[in-house]
Chain A
């Protein structure tokens, strides 16, 4: 998952920096539609089993843990910024 993404990102940054005099606004619109395809493929790859799972309690517990991890992270960040 990790290996090719970081080099590709760094390469893109360098290419973008070298092309900074050119108009690259159209890339923003292209990337948004690629994002739509990307998320469709992610859903496709993941499958639909998570939608029909019978482990109701497990789903609920995992949802609680996910929400807590997200909220506590933001609380810590706000506290750090206020110090």
Chain B
């Protein structure tokens, strides 16, 4: 069976939407955080299998190149999010600190929304949730198309911190071993940076 990247991405997107729509009915079964634990387990299983695949095709002599590419993407993701925060603040007269705190969540809605909410109230927290959620959602939806237009590596920036878990699923369907390794490291670096950056920014 041959796997078509874009077709599989549509299946992934449909799966995500089906899960969202089914949540009302299945929530009766998924009590006491059962679904969250199951999600954690499946995520770890997915990461383990993907990493075995990456490791089996890893060319150690190219490790330096992969690190350079990752660092370049991480820098662009941070700078891009900073510019977006500033432009958003100017366009919609939002506080610059708040706009930056939201945009620098870089897709990690489960961290950014509660953090922003704690500092600036529920309205700002909701905005942080949706802005970061849409970043993840749009990455899943747009990565296949964007990878055809601007290459497989550049659209990794779309995913921000989520490229080490949720959006790695769609990157994996299109990307080669190098792209998967870069995407994971990109997400991992940003996942380390976001919890330092956002609270520091909000406490200024």
Q: Hey, which bits of chain A sit against chain B, CB under 8 A? A: 1-2, 4-6, 8-20, 22, 24, 27-32, 34-48, 50-51, 53, 55, 58-59, 61-78, 80-81
Contacts and interface: CB of A to CB of B under 8 A. Distances in A.
Interface in B1-29: 1, 3, 8, 11-13, 15-24, 26-27
B165 interface: yes
Interface SS of A by simple majority = helix
B43 A38 contact: yes
Contacts of B170: 35
Interface in B38-73: 38-40, 42-58, 72-73
B157 interface: yes
24 contacts: A1-B110, A5-B44, A9-B48, A12-B52, A19-B55, A22-B56, A31-B46, A31-B53, A37-B42, A38-B39, A40-B15, A47-B23, A47-B27, A48-B24, A50-B20, A58-B127, A64-B88, A65-B131, A71-B84, A72-B79, A75-B80, A76-B76, A77-B73, A77-B154
Q: Which of A1, A47, A73 has the most CB of B within 10 A?
A: A73
A77 B76 contact: yes
A45 B173 contact: no
Contact of A73 (B17, B56, B140, B157): B157
Contacts of B129: 62
B202 interface: no
Contacts of A4: 40, 44
Contacts of A77: 72-73, 76, 80, 154, 157
Given A51-B20, A69-B103, A80-B72, A43 B15 contact: yes
B146 to A, nearest CB: 8
B26 to A, nearest CB: 6
Contacts of A63: 130-131, 134
A77 B111 CA distance: 26
A70 B136 CA distance: 10
A15 to B, nearest CB: 5
A34 B46 contact: yes
Contacts of B166: 38-39, 42
B191 interface: yes
Given A12-B51, A13-B51, 14 more contacts: A12-B54, A14-B55, A16-B55, A17-B55, A35-B169, A38-B166, A38-B169, A43-B21, A47-B20, A48-B20, A50-B130, A72-B81, A72-B87, A77-B157
